[in-house]
A and B are shown apart, each in its own frame.
Chain A
Amino acid sequence: MKSNLPNLLRKRKLIAEIVRFRLKSSAVDNRLGYLWWLIDPIIMVIIYWFVFSVIRSTHNYSPYPVFIGCAVVSWKYFTRCFSNGIRIFKTHGATMRSIPFPTAVLPIALVAEEGVLFAFGLTALLVAAAGMGVHPTFYALQLVPLVIIQAAMMLGITLLMACLGALIYDLSIYVNHVVMFLFYLSPSLYGLDLLEKHFASSPWLVDVYMFVNPFAILFTSYRHAIWSHQMIPMWWWGVMCIHTSVLLYTGYRTYQLLDRRLLKASAA
Chain B
Amino acid sequence: MEQSDNPAGPSAETTAAPELVLEARDLGLYYPSSRRRTLFKRLHHRRKAGQYWALRNVSFQCMRGDVLGVIGRNGAGKSTLSLVLSGIFEPDEGTLITNGDVSALLSLGGMFQPGLSGRDNTYYFGSFLGFSRERMDAMIDEIRDFSELGDFFDEPIGAYSSGMRARLAFSIAASIEPDILLLDEVLSVGDSGFRKKCEARIQSMMAKCRCIVVISHSMPSIKAMCNRCLWLERGEVKACGDPADVIRQYEESFANA
Q: CB within 8 Å of B: which residues of A?
A: 1, 13-14, 17-18, 21-22, 24-26, 28-29, 93-101, 169, 260-261, 263-265, 267-268
The CA of A263 and the CA of B128, in the complex, are separated in Å by 16
Residues of A within 8 A of B114 (CB): 25
Q: What's the nearest-Cβ distance from chain B to residue A109, in Å?
A: 11
B139 proximal to A (CB < 8 A): no
Q: What's the nearest-Cβ distance from chain B to residue A25, in Å?
A: 4
* Known pairs A24-B116, A265-B32; A101 contacts B110 (CB<8 A): no
Contact partner of A14 (CB less than 8 A), chosen from B87, B90, B127, is B127
Q: What's the nearest-Cβ distance from chain B to residue A28, in Å?
A: 5
Q: What's the nearest-Cβ distance from chain B to residue A228, in Å?
A: 41
Q: Among the listed stretches B101-109, B191-199, B208-216, B238-246, which one makes contact with chain A, having 4 or more residues with CB under 8 Å of it?
A: B101-109
Q: CB within 8 Å of A: which residues of B?
A: 31-32, 34, 36, 80, 83, 86-90, 104, 106-108, 110-111, 113-116, 120, 123-124, 127-130, 132, 156
Chain B minimum-CB-distance residue to A263: B89
The CA of A21 and the CA of B117, in the complex, are separated in Å by 11
* Known pairs A21-B113, A99-B104; A268 contacts B32 (CB<8 A): yes
Q: Quick check: B88 and A25 within 8 Å, CB to CB?
A: no
Q: Quick check: A260 and B90 within 8 Å, CB to CB?
A: yes
* Known pairs A25-B115, A94-B111, A267-B31; A99 contacts B88 (CB<8 A): yes
Residues of A within 8 A of B108 (CB): 98
Residues of A within 8 A of B32 (CB): 261, 264-265, 268
Q: Quick check: B115 and A28 within 8 Å, CB to CB?
A: yes
Question: Chain A at the B interface: mostly helix, strand, loop or mixed?
Answer: helix
Q: Quick check: A267 and B83 within 8 Å, CB to CB?
A: yes
Contact partner of A100 (CB less than 8 A), chosen from B80, B86, B107, B111, is B86
* Known pairs A169-B36, A263-B88, A264-B89; A95 contacts B116 (CB<8 A): no
Chain B minimum-CB-distance residue to A25: B115
Contact partner of A101 (CB less than 8 A), chosen from B83, B104, B128, is B128
* Known pairs A14-B128, A265-B32; A21 contacts B87 (CB<8 A): no
Q: Quick check: B115 and A97 within 8 Å, CB to CB?
A: no
Chain B minimum-CB-distance residue to A259: B90
Residues of A within 8 A of B116 (CB): 21, 24-25, 28
Contact partner of A99 (CB less than 8 A), chosen from B34, B80, B90, B128, is B128
The CA of A28 and the CA of B239, in the complex, are separated in Å by 51
> Could you list 13 examples of A-B contacts with CB < 8 Å?
A13-B127, A14-B128, A21-B113, A21-B116, A25-B114, A28-B115, A93-B110, A94-B111, A99-B104, A99-B106, A263-B89, A265-B32, A265-B34
